[in-house]
Chain A
Amino acid sequence: MTKAELIDKISEKRPGLTRKQVEVVVNSVLDSIKDALAKEDKVEIRGFGSFRIRHRRAKEGRNPKTGETVSVPPKKVPFFKAGKEMREMVDGKL
């Protein structure tokens, strides 16, 4: 399922709203999660899961083309952990 399909599906269930309104809400939800993580805040959604930042240490890397050693700076990456309900649902337990 793509974002467009998600928007279509919800629009069908809510005939009172335009597709555009649903689209704006979907983007707004995704943006608030992204912005929260950018501020190093974590996002916890009961039954769904939580998003937080994981820190990657600096490490020695290698340029695969030249074999040259380069230092890779420490990095922050978004990380998602599925909540209990989501885990059980996906694993066929709910």
Chain B
Amino acid sequence: MTKADIISEVFDKVGLPKQDAEELVEMILDTIKLTLKEGETVKLSGFGNFVVRQKRSRKGRNPKTGQEIEITPRSVVSFRPSMIFKDHVIETDSATDGAVPAGQPAE
């Protein structure tokens, strides 16, 4: 699935002109990106949190040449999915292929 697919889904579900759907999707993604650029956390309830973390300098290796190199300290984005997102991924799976192990107590 690509950005174009997300835009079509939004367009199908929401009664807005295609161009509005497209612009809004772009604005949502850009606003999240620019907020993270400032080092600020983005918390999307029901989805997850995007957090900027500081990584210390560490030793790495060029996998091709085996040469040891210094990986500079940097800021990286990490995403922590919410419980709702995690459960959504697991539940949908067990609902479709019946993957609940036998002998598991029914709830």
Show the binding face of A for B, using Cβ within 8 Å: 1-3, 6, 9-10, 13-14, 17, 21-22, 24-26, 28-30, 32-49, 51, 53, 73, 75-80, 82, 85-87, 89-92, 94
Contact = CB atoms under 8 A, between A and B. Distances in A.
Given A3-B45, A22-B24, A90-B36, 10 more contacts: A14-B23, A14-B27, A25-B16, A32-B5, A36-B1, A46-B2, A46-B3, A53-B89, A78-B48, A86-B33
B76 A90 contact: yes
Given A1-B42, A14-B24, A45-B6, A32 B1 contact: yes
A48 B76 contact: no
B85 to A, nearest CB: 5
Nearest to A13: B27
B71 interface: no
Contacts, number: 144
Contacts of B76: 82, 87, 90-91
Nearest to B10: A28
A6 B6 contact: no
Interface size classification for chain B: 35 or more
A25 B21 contact: yes
B88 interface: yes
A34 B86 contact: no
A80 B4 CA distance: 19
A65 to B, nearest CB: 19
A45 B26 CA distance: 10
A89 B52 CA distance: 11
A4 to B, nearest CB: 9
7 contacts: A3-B43, A9-B31, A21-B16, A37-B89, A76-B90, A77-B86, A94-B37
A92 B16 contact: no
Nearest to A51: B79
